[in-house]
Structure 1
Amino acid sequence: MKTITLKTQDDFFDQIGKMASDQNLSKSVLIRKAIQMYQKQLTDKKMVK
């Protein structure tokens, strides 16, 4: 697996940590799932056009 480094504001970092904790996920898994959902959303929009 490859590594991506993300720079973000402290408050956003804290939000990600809370969301991950609330769902019993690591921050990496949460971010991966969010990107996958975004990719699907973009794909679905292209199919509608």
Structure 2
Amino acid sequence: MIWLFALIGVVTVAILLWRAFGPGSRPAPPRVIAPDDDPDFLRDLDGRKPLDP
């Protein structure tokens, strides 16, 4: 009977450790977009071009 309680305790500790330190426990870092991949930047380039006289 003590083996059953020990097994339940080990499984409980393992589940708690998995939830605390397993995959998905940390948020993903923010994604950095390069200027040449940013649609807003590319759309704004036309307005930044100097006009030829």
Q: Give TM-score, length-normalised by structure 1.
A: 0.44
Q: Which has the larger radius of gyration?
A: 2
Bigger fraction of residues in helix: 1
Q: Which has the higher contact order (CA 8 A, sep 6+)?
A: 1
TM-score normalised by L of structure 2: 0.41
